[in-house]
Amino acid sequence: MFHVNANFLLVVTLFGFFELVANQGLNLISSVVTPFGDWNNWQDCAVNTFVTSLDVRAVSRPRKLNPKFTDDLGLISMALECSQHENGSKKFAKLIYTEVGGVFNTVKNGTLVIGSDGDIRIEEDVVYTYPFVTSCEEVAIGAQFMIQSEQVAIDNTAVTNLRIFCSELKDSTPDYIEAYGTYSGDWDSVLHCNKRQAICGIQTLAQSIYDDSFDNTGINSIRLRCCKVPNPALTCTPYDTWELIQECNNFDSATASKCSYVRQVGLVRANTESSEYDFNENIGYSLYEDIFWAIDGLGLTFRKLGVSEETGYDWTKSNSEMFELSTSEVVEYEVPGTFLTKIYQVVGKCSYLNVKTPTFKIISEG
């Protein structure tokens, strides 16, 4: 199943050739050095869920025609966890598996089978233990495959291992987590999703591991699908409130005194620690680089409030400048003697995104 209007496929072949796939963007493939088998069906995460962890299996076994010698197949199976990133934490969605003839995939969480898929069960059971060890805290945004070049008259293994690049590690060294395959061959080129995308599907070029070939391989090449991560300014739930900006106490004086406050209007980040903020920054929704995603997204989101029942503010009349990064100025005001003055401002809130409007009210108590 294909995701609509959200998929970008990048294709890298052995010759570094990039091709455009109609209605899907660019197709991105690991190098094809052993072109055995057929391309199987795409295995996709659900919409707006992305790969967060995986596990792999590689096998070696006696050759059918000559049991004295071992046939290394390389990777014969991959299991990937798809999760939704919600409120700064991962929420399990489903498991997807590579398709390889003769492989029956099962995942167990303790003794409970939580998912299975694959071809008709013949001889090879692949049993995974969940949760998977190779795991991102956020989402996978790239991959690198270990591939053995084609061997002449000796054992071929094709894809033998892989690394996944995690969004939370993008500024770290190393910026990947390595799976537990085998180490035959060389690391291929690093494949990265575009900005604001993450891995959401997989397709394999695979040979049935139980055909009559003298030298069998499992997975010969892999395609990864990258899907757009939703704009947080479009998915958050908006509301507004009268927020106390400052209060100035002049109870103890019979004469008026001056106070000042910082008048701030525009978009600010909430003053709280937020793993959701960190995730969106890592994936490319930065408040301090390209902010157009927030300006356009928050404008649409807050206009849905119409005239607020809470504050009376008419969000339909907000212009785009109000959703840009905030500007501020110092404003002085006078508080009468024996009075307490409070300054309130209408503030729109949507997750960690706060929009400070130009609407204020002053209340004096004496």
More confident residue, 69 or 104: 104
**If we measure between CA atoms, which residue out of 357, 287, 288 comes closest to residue 321?**
357
Question: What's 127's domain CATH number?
Answer: 2.100.10.20
Within-domain flag for 292: yes
Do both 192 and 241 map to the same domain? Answer: no
Question: What's 301's domain CATH number?
Answer: 3.30.1750
Within-domain flag for 31: yes
Phi, psi of 316 (to 5 degrees): -70, -15
Dist CA 262 CA 82 (whole Å): 45
**Residue 337 identity (one-letter amino acid):** G
More confident residue, 202 or 105: 202
Contact 83, 48 (CB under 8 A): no
Do both 237 and 253 map to the same domain? Answer: yes
What average pLDDT does the structure give for the chain? 81
**Predicted local confidence at residue 121, as pLDDT:** 32
Within-domain flag for 159: yes
Do both 203 and 261 map to the same domain? Answer: no
Q: Where are the beta strands (DSSP E) in 251-292?
A: 257-269
Bridging pattern class, strands 103-109 and 124-129: parallel
Domain boundary among 229, 261, 282: 229
Within-domain flag for 317: yes
Do both 183 and 263 map to the same domain? Answer: no
Instruction: Note if the bond before 131 is cis, omega within 30 degrees.
Output: yes
Domain boundary among 211, 229, 247: 229
Within-domain flag for 211: yes
**If we measure between CA atoms, which residue out of 159, 245, 165, 239 comes closest to residue 197?**
165
Q: pLDDT-derived band of residue 107, with 50, 70 and 90 as boundaries?
A: low
pLDDT above 80 for 123 = no
Do both 151 and 245 map to the same domain? Answer: no
Residue range 98-127: average pLDDT? 54
**Predicted local confidence at residue 4, as pLDDT:** 32
Could you read off the pLDDT of 132-170 as tens digits, one per residue? Answer: 989 999 999 999 998 887 666 566 667 889 999 999 999
Handedness of CA 16, 207, 193, 186 (dihedral sign): negative
Quote the domain boundaries for residue 289. Answer: 233-365
* Most confident region among 116-125, 153-162, 175-184, 238-247 by mean pLDDT: 238-247
Instruction: Note if the bond before 230 is cis, omega within 30 degrees.
Output: no
Question: H or E segment at 200?
Answer: strand 197-206
Do both 225 and 242 map to the same domain? Answer: no
Q: pLDDT-derived band of residue 214, with 50, 70 and 90 as boundaries?
A: low
Do both 201 and 260 map to the same domain? Answer: no
Bridging pattern class, strands 219-228 and 7-9: antiparallel
> Per the structure block, which two tokens stand in for 89?
């934490």
Do both 193 and 219 map to the same domain? Answer: yes
Do both 131 and 203 map to the same domain? Answer: yes
Dist CA 323 CA 14 (whole Å): 46
**Predicted local confidence at residue 355, as pLDDT:** 97
Domain boundary among 175, 209, 229: 229
What is the number of domains present in the chain?
2
Within-domain flag for 1: no
Q: pLDDT-derived band of residue 109, with 50, 70 and 90 as boundaries?
A: low
Do both 94 and 15 map to the same domain? Answer: yes
**Predicted local confidence at residue 22, as pLDDT:** 28
**If we measure between CA atoms, which residue out of 304, 348, 300, 299 comes closest to residue 321?**
299
Within-domain flag for 312: yes
Do both 222 and 268 map to the same domain? Answer: no
Q: Which residues contact 146 (CB under 8 A, 6 or more apart)?
A: 159, 160, 161, 162, 181, 183, 184, 185, 186, 187, 188
Could you read off the pLDDT of 170-212 as tens digits, one per residue? Answer: 999 999 999 988 888 889 999 999 999 999 999 998 877 666 5
CA distances from 126 to 68, 141, 280 (A): 24, 26, 35
Could you read off the pLDDT of 295-312 as tens digits, one per residue? Answer: 999 999 999 999 999 999
Within-domain flag for 2: no
CA distances from 357 to 243, 322, 343, 350 (A): 11, 7, 13, 14
Contact 332, 338 (CB under 8 A): no
Do both 208 and 324 map to the same domain? Answer: no
